[in-house]
Amino acid sequence: MHCFNLRSSALVLISALCAMLSFVAYGQYTFAVVGKTKNDSFYEQSFKGCQDFAQRQADLRCIYDGAYDYQDARTQALVVQDLVAQGVDGILVSTTDSQHLVNRALKKAQQQGIAVITFDSDLAPQHQTYRLAYVGTNNFDFGVALGEAAKQFKREHPQTLCIQSGHHTTPNLNKRIDGVRYALSGSTKRLNGENDWLEHPRCPLFTAGRRDDALKQLRTIISYPQPTIFVAVAGFAQFNPDYQQVMTEFKQQLAKKQRVIISADTETLQLQALASGLGTMNIGQNPYEMGRKGAQLLYDAVKHQHLPEQEQYYLPFHYCTPDNAQSCAKNH
């Protein structure tokens, strides 16, 4: 509804009505969804999940923000600082750097009574008093699943493996690296021949979520004569719109399992590449439900003072191959 600048004795009444309608339209409560990067379909799905929940409440709206182009801990903290200053009622955040986020933003959020739920990437254990709960994948188990997938394609003795990650401080990705190593060696230490597995000397690779860097890293590793199983603990290179064009030269080798690319996540671009034979296996999560469930937990806490009953709410993950890529996952 538009409110016009009327010159009459009813101006005050009209203004009050406009304010009331604005209150109804925009909601009494505002929750912010903050991913590690903003231009990322994974976190956009989480935002849609929050919006889905908000549409069912007359007094709630969701907004979306984050570091725009890559995983930058400082920018993420600044974004959350700004949201705290705006006085949002709740924040759903995927942690890039736990210490930095807490010191720069979440301590202030707690002082102001702003509820925080982490999703996708939790705070480090020593910082978890600054959030109410975590919603998302059990990231260690997810890493184990990626490692178990790699076992199926072991051809060399010893077999080299390259892990690609994002930012070296990111809690969930570090847990996934631990899980991969544990699946292959029974330990979270760097693979050094245990059970005939070796980590490539250049790895793990860190991308900070920069898609061009991620794709260059992948292409370099799988171009080496010695076959190295490539395991990405998040989408990274496959989120690059040039992925299919760049990787086409390896299609025959991928089909023969002479080259192996195993990646976390099952976003639309990734599934298209997988269906085209430009990947080996993807293990996907449920970012939409992270946003929906996270918003529900925040709403219960903020409106009804009903705190989450659990510390962690773990969601299932799923497996995609070239054979089932068109039906294995639902993207919103």
Give pLDDT, residue 32. 98
Q: Give the pair of three-digit tokens for residue 313.
A: 């709410």
Give pLDDT, residue 1. 30
Give pLDDT, residue 266. 98
* 131 torsion bin: left (phi>0), alpha (psi -120 to 50), beta (else): beta
Please give the Cα distance from 326 to 332 (Å, whole number). 14
Give pLDDT, residue 5. 38
Mean pLDDT of 104-124: 98
Burial class (CB in 10 A: 0-12, 13-18, 19+), 245: exposed
Supply the angle between the helices 139-151 and 171-185 in degrees, to the nearest 10: 40
* Banded model confidence at residue 70, pLDDT cuts 50, 70, 90: confident
Give pLDDT, residue 192. 97
pTM (two decimals): 0.90
Q: Which residue has the higher pLDDT, 22 or 98?
A: 98
Checking if the pLDDT of 8 tops 70, the result is: no
Average pLDDT, the chain: 92
Provide the 8-state DSSP code for 122: P
Give pLDDT, residue 27. 60
Label residues 155-165 b or e (16+ Cβ within 10 Å = b).
Answer: eeeebbbbbbb
Tens-place pLDDT, residues 190-209: 999 999 999 999 999 999 99
Give pLDDT, residue 69. 82
Give pLDDT, residue 68. 87
Sheet of 60-66, strands arranged across: 60-66, 29-35, 90-93, 115-119, 133-136, 312-314
Mean pLDDT of 32-39: 96
Q: Give the pair of three-digit tokens for residue 322.
A: 């070239």
Give pLDDT, residue 9. 32
